[in-house]
C-alpha cells in the first residue's frame, strides 16, 4: 500500500501521505483511512491538487455526496461541490461569503440527517491567517466534570441554522420554529458507539423541556467547557491541502483573521449522514415545546 499515516500530536488529526486522488482507493487503503478517520476525526492530505471532479470522485468513496441546499453555491461543472470563496463574481470582497463557516459548529446540524464528514480542498489561500480550528468532542465528553455531565446527558435540543444566537439577537423569530430539527445534546456515534458533545454554539436553539433562560445558562456552561484549547488543533492551510473532518464527534471553525483583500478559495463536498432521532416522535416534542 502506498498510503502512510502520521498522527498529529494533540487531541485530533492525522496526516495521510502518498494519496493519488485521481486513483480509486484499494479496499485496504479505504479501510485504513476509515479506521484512522474514526479514531482521529480529522485527516489531512497534503500536496494532492484536485479539480472539482476529482474531489467528487475521491470523497464519494466515503459515502453519498449531499449537494448544498442553496443552488447558487453549487459549481456548474460539479454540482456536488460547493465553492467557498470570499470574493463575488467581480472580485470584490464578499462579507457573507467570507463569514461562512466562522464560529464553532458541525456541518448540517440544522438538518434531520446531518453530515457524516466534509472535505475541504484549498485552491487559493491568503498570505497569513485563515486557519481552520478543530475540536475533539469525544474528549470534551470524556473529561467533562460529572456535575455538568449529568445535566446534559440524555437531553434533546432543537437546532436550526443560526441557532439561539440568531434568535437572541433578533435576527430570527420564534415563528421560524417550523424549520427546527431535533438532535441529542450528547450524541452516541453511529459507528464507534462512543458519546460526544453534539450540540454546538452555531446551531443549537434550546434544550427541549427546559425553560429558555435555564437552557441558555446550561448551554453557555457546556460550550465554555467544550471550547477549552486542550481539545483543539489548528490547520494551517497550504494550497493543495485537503482536510476530511468528522461532523458527528468534532466541531470546527474558520478564522476571519486574514487580509480581507486577498483571495481565499476552497472546494467543498459533504457526505450524507444518518438521522439521530425518530423524526415523527421528535416533531411531537417540538410541537409541545
Interface contacts to Fe ion, rule CB under 5 A: 101, 107
- Using the minimum distance from each CB to Fe ion, give the nearer residue, 206 or 270: 270
- Using the minimum distance from each CB to Fe ion, give the nearer residue, 215 or 232: 232
In 52-149, the DSSP E strands lie at 74-75, 78-85, 117-124, 132-136
- Using the minimum distance from each CB to Fe ion, give the nearer residue, 110 or 138: 110
User: Smallest gap, in angstroms, from Cβ of residue 20 to Fe ion?
Assistant: 27
User: Smallest gap, in angstroms, from Cβ of residue 110 to Fe ion?
Assistant: 11
- Using the minimum distance from each CB to Fe ion, give the nearer residue, 101 or 201: 101
- Using the minimum distance from each CB to Fe ion, give the nearer residue, 52 or 101: 101
* Strand, helix or coil for residue 210: coil
User: Smallest gap, in angstroms, from Cβ of residue 284 to Fe ion?
Assistant: 30
* Strand, helix or coil for residue 288: helix
User: Smallest gap, in angstroms, from Cβ of residue 167 to Fe ion?
Assistant: 20
Joined together, the cell numbers standing for residue 237 give 492551510
| 11, 15, 18, 120, 132 from 7: Cα distances, Å | 10, 6, 14, 19, 18
Q: Taking a C-beta distance cutoff of 8 angstroms, is the pair 101, 242 a contact?
A: no
Q: Taking a C-beta distance cutoff of 8 angstroms, is the pair 237, 50 a contact?
A: no
User: Smallest gap, in angstroms, from Cβ of residue 267 to Fe ion?
Assistant: 14
Assign residue 41 a region: left if phi > 0, alpha if psi is -120 to 50, beta otherwise?
left
Q: Taking a C-beta distance cutoff of 8 angstroms, is the pair 136, 280 a contact?
A: no
User: Smallest gap, in angstroms, from Cβ of residue 118 to Fe ion?
Assistant: 6
- Using the minimum distance from each CB to Fe ion, give the nearer residue, 107 or 241: 107
Amino acid at each position: 500500500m502506498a498510503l502512510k499515516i502520521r498522527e498529529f500530536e494533540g487531541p485530533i488529526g492525522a496526516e495521510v501521505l502518498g494519496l493519488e486522488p485521481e486513483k480509486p482507493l484499494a479496499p485496504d487503503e479505504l479501510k485504513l483511512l476509515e479506521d484512522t478517520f474514526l479514531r482521529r476525526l480529522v485527516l489531512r492530505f497534503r500536496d494532492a491538487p484536485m479539480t472539482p471532479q476529482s474531489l467528487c470522485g475521491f470523497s464519494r468513496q466515503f459515502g453519498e455526496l449531499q449537494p448544498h441546499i442553496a443552488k447558487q453555491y453549487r459549481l456548474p461543472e460539479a454540482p456536488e461541490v460547493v465553492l467557498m470563496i470570499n470574493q463575488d463574481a467581480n472580485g470584490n470582497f464578499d462579507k457573507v461569503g467570507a463569514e461562512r463557516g466562522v464560529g464553532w459548529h458541525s456541518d448540517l446540524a440544522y438538518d434531520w440527517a446531518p453530515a457524516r464528514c466534509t472535505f475541504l480542498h484549498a485552491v487559493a489561500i491568503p498570505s497569513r491567517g485563515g486557519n481552520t480550528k478543530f475540536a475533539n468532542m469525544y474528549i470534551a465528553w470524556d473529561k467533562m466534570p460529572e456535575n455538568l455531565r449529568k445535566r446534559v446527558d440524555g437531553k434533546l435540543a432543537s437546532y436550526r441554522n443560526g441557532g439561539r444566537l440568531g434568535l437572541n439577537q433578533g435576527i430570527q423569530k420564534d415563528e421560524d420554529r417550523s424549520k427546527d430539527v431535533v438532535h441529542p445534546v450528547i450524541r452516541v456515534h453511529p459507528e464507534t458507539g462512543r458519546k460526544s458533545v453534539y450540540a454546538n454554539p452555531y446551531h443549537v436553539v434550546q434544550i427541549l423541556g427546559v425553560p429558555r433562560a435555564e437552557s441558555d445558562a446550561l448551554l453557555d456552561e457546556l460550550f465554555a467547557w467544550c471550547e477549552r484549547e486542550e481539545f483543539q488543533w489548528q490547520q494551517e492551510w497550504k494550497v493543495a491541502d485537503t482536510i476530511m473532518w468528522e461532523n458527528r464527534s468534532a466541531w470546527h471553525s474558520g478564522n476571519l483573521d486574514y487580509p480581507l483583500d486577498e483571495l481565499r478559495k476552497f472546494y467543498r463536498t459533504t457526505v450524507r449522514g444518518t438521522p439521530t432521532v425518530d423524526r415523527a416522535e421528535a416533531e411531537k416534542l417540538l410541537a409541545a415545546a
